[in-house]
A and B are shown apart, each in its own frame.
Chain A
Amino acid sequence: MALTNRSKTVTVRELTWSEKLYLPAIFKGMMITFSHMFKRTPTIKYPDVKREMAPVYRGQHVLKRDEAGAERCTACGLCAVACPAEAITMESAERKKGEESLYREEKYASIYEINMLRCIFCGLCEDACPKEAIFLTDRIVPSSFTRGEEVFGKDILVESQDTPVDVTKRQSPEVLEFKKNKSHYHNRTFKDAKPLVNKHH
């Protein structure tokens, strides 16, 4: 089966006289390399120039806080269920009295870990989250020397109160519209199932 139309049948045979001269083949090869002199190099000179990223690039995750600065995550586990790579684990805990400013709801995640080596950055956790707590950002996950360092806990994932992470690019009007009906979409039955229609069409 041919995967491309560029495959060639190759046979072992004696070279013809003109092929034994090598010179035509050498000339042909040199013309190929010469033509590359006029090609644009695709190199991006990294420290000077940074590659332009898509505004909705899916990089390192962030656990958002609400307007008052309390963690939005309630440790429902929907993200962990949605995760196809099984990269997310969490442990839930009950909010104590006096912790209302820390956690928005009565239940919160005492441990929340994402294994960055397992994560495939598909963004399904973000889709699954009913509390608008987890988002993927345009930050690149830094490399590390050990595997353990690549398991990110809450200390890295939760945004700091002073410098909130901007996720407005991933919350475009279309996305918000989609998320509004998410519960309905997730729980739809065959009776009320209708194909998703882009509103522009």
Chain B
Amino acid sequence: MDALLIYKFILCVIVFVISLGMAAYMTWGERKLAAILQDRVGPDRAGPLGLLQPIADGVKMFMKEEMLPTQSNRFLFILGPCLFMITACMTGAVIPWGSGITIGDVTYPMQIADINIGLLYLLGVVSIGVYGIMIGGWASNNKYSLLGALRASSQMISYEVAMGLALIALVMMTGTLSLGEISRQQDAGLANVVYQPLGFLIFIICAFAETNRAPFDLPECESELVGGYHTEYSSMKLGLFLFAEYINMFISSAVMATLYWGGYNFPFQHELGLEGNTLAILQTVALFAKIIIFIFIFMWVRWTLPRFRYDQLMHLGWRVLLPLSLANIFITGIVMYFLGKLN
């Protein structure tokens, strides 16, 4: 039991460090990719290819003057970014990063907590993340912040509906809410995206909206709202908001890979004749390759599409994605009925 606890603790630390490291290098990747897509060079002064840029940015964020608006609610003002960051880091707990690693005679799952309501936990934690933005924006006592926070909360709540309904079709098919079990099912069969292409499309659009990424970056929307909900923030509190956005992006990429694209499984993994830990490490590499592809798509979309107007955003969420996801549930149900998978 003690060994399991120590293992879980180490895994927690590793996942936390990897989340932060990925987020840091995603900021570099974002700037570099933006530059490449716009025929520019991008950061290249700090280290080879600008690889030390995230460290320089982090140091800059810590050295900046810390400002607290006099009219703000001090406690809530600090709570906002903390809550946003905590929820962003919490979601990594239910992602299966590999099948299982063998230490001594015992095989440990490479997942911090394989809870049987993993999907529900994920949606719940993401919903709490809205509070971070809302509290931060409201506590700033600034009209731009408040507008940004309002936009963020309405946007995230609207798109959570379609996202949840897209997931219900998946849950109907897999019959489980556990992410570990969903991964194992995709090892035996095909990746879920083959059966749920529409569900995946809805999910990825909602993921863009949930992470406040372009083309749904209305909460920040620097051309209309200065900085949106983080207008009044400075120093590392601003850094936490920006950083948490990247962690959210990383985790939602991991969720998409796990739910729809086979998780840590890769084609012909059992034909290679690999066993145990080698296979587990290769699986983790495969999962990270998938995650990086999704992150690339996130950034690629950001530097291609312009921002939606607010009414277009709400129209897309409620009048396009919601009926589509309901239709997806309906079609899934009918197909399952005719295949005799419903009792």
- A: residues with CB less than 8 A from B are 26, 29-30, 32-34, 36-37, 39, 41-43, 45
CB pair A36–B37 under 8 Å, yes or no, is yes
Q: How far is the CA of A34 from the CA of B38 in the complex (A)?
A: 10
B241 smallest CB distance to A (angstroms): 27
Give every chain B residue within 8 A of A30 (Cβ-Cβ).
300-301, 304
Q: Which of A33, A39, A41 contacts B300 (CB 8 A)?
A: A33
Q: Describe A's contact surface by its main secondary structure.
A: helix
On whether the beta carbons of B303 and A33 are closer than 8 Å, the reply is yes
A195 and B139 CA atoms in complex are apart in Å by 81
Residue B275 at the A interface, CB < 8 A? no
Instruction: For A22, give the chain B residue with the smallest CB separation.
Output: B316
Q: Are B305 and A26 in contact (CB under 8 A)?
A: yes
Contacts of B300 in A (CB 8 A): 30, 33-34
Question: Assuming the A-B contacts A33-B300, A34-B300, are A42 and B305 also in contact, with contact meaning beta carbons closer than 8 angstroms in the complex?
Answer: no
What distance in Å separates the Cβ of B69 from its nearest Cβ neighbour in chain A? 36
By beta carbon, the residue of chain A nearest B36 is A37
Shortest CB-to-CB span from A145 to chain B, Å, is 26
Q: How far is the CA of A126 from the CA of B301 in the complex (A)?
A: 55
Verify if B341 is at the interface (C-beta below 8 Å from A). Answer: no
Interface centre among B38, B39, B301, by most chain A C-beta atoms within 10 angstroms, is B39
**Cβ of A29 and Cβ of B36 under 8 Å apart?**
no
Restricting to B27-80, which residues have a CB under 8 Å from any CB of A? 35-41, 44
Q: How big is chain B's contact interface, by range?
A: 10 to 19
A39–B39 contact, CB under 8 A?
yes
Give, as a whole number of angstroms, the nearest-CB distance from B227 to chain A: 25
Which single residue of chain B is at the shortest CB-CB distance from A27? B304
9 cross-chain CB contacts under 8 A: A26-B301, A30-B300, A30-B301, A30-B304, A36-B36, A37-B36, A37-B37, A42-B39, A45-B41
Chain B, 260-308, CB within 8 A of any chain A CB: 300-301, 303-305
Please report the C-alpha to C-alpha distance between residue A32 and residue B305 in the assembled complex, in whole angstroms: 11
- Residues of A within 8 Å of B44, CB to CB, are 45
Closest to A47 in B: B45
B301→A41 contact, CB < 8 A = no
Q: Which residue of chain B is the closest to A25 with respect to CB atoms?
A: B305
A41–B37 touching, CB < 8 Å: no
Interface residues of B in 236-280 (CB under 8 A from A): none
Task: Chain B residues near A29: list those with CB within 8 A.
Answer: 304-305
Q: Kindly provide the distance from the CB of A70 to the nearest chain B CB, expressed in whole angstroms.
A: 49
Smallest beta-carbon distance A35→chain B, Å: 10
A83 CB to closest chain B CB (Å) equals: 39
A41–B305 CB distance below 8 A: no
Residues of chain A within 8 A (CB-CB) of B303 are 33
